[in-house]
Amino acid sequence: MTSHQAQAEELLSAMKILMDDVASYKSAVALLAVHSAIAYNDAVLERLTGSTYKGQDHSEAARKTKAACGKKRIDASGVQHVEKLVAKKTLYSYSGIVDLSSAQDAAMKATRFADWAYRNVLKRESNYV
């Protein structure tokens, strides 16, 4: 398991714990969702290409993952979840306003992306998820 996958699992696990009281932890849930998806994307890209994207543009990293999936003939439909989360990253990080619906949606997208990553590219190797 790569360090990116371990980090992703840890972040997703923390997000799931906070979902028990999502109304109290809306911002934390949304941020953990985004960062777990980014880490899962890094793990997927590393597994497919041997390296991760080194830049700060997480949208570009998602595009690289889609392209790598295409080259390996892997269904890339799950990448849409990380793309949508990355598009909200700045809002969740700096607006200070995350409503309940947004937090729940972010958690759903992060979970769906992790599920896609395991189903198509990664192997489950821990008890986090």
73-85 average pLDDT score: 96
The amino acid present at 14, given as its one-letter code, is A
Flag whether pLDDT at 125 surpasses 60. no
| Assigned domain for 60 exists | yes
Quick one: residue 50, left, alpha or beta (phi over 0 = left, psi -120 to 50 = alpha)?
A: left
pLDDT over 90 percentage in the chain: 83
* pLDDT per position as a tens digit, 37-60: 999 999 999 999 999 888 889 999
| Assigned domain for 9 exists | yes
| Assigned domain for 54 exists | yes
| Assigned domain for 127 exists | no
For the chain, how long is the longest CA-to-CA vector?
43
Q: Quick one: pLDDT at residue 56? A: 87
CATH number at residue 61: 1.20.120.330
110-127 average pLDDT score: 86
| Assigned domain for 126 exists | no
0.95 exceeded by the pTM? no
| Assigned domain for 129 exists | no
| Assigned domain for 12 exists | yes
Flag whether pLDDT at 34 surpasses 90. yes
| Assigned domain for 30 exists | yes
* pLDDT per position as a tens digit, 1-10: 789 999 999 9
Rounded Cα gap, residues 74 and 120, in angstroms: 7
Q: Could you list the residue range(s) of the whole structural domain that residue 74 is in?
A: 3-120
If you average pLDDT over every residue of the chain, what do you get?
93
Number of domains present in the structure of the chain = 1
**Tokens standing for 64?**
């690289």
Rounded Cα gap, residues 121 and 123, in angstroms: 7
Q: Quick one: pLDDT at residue 53? A: 87
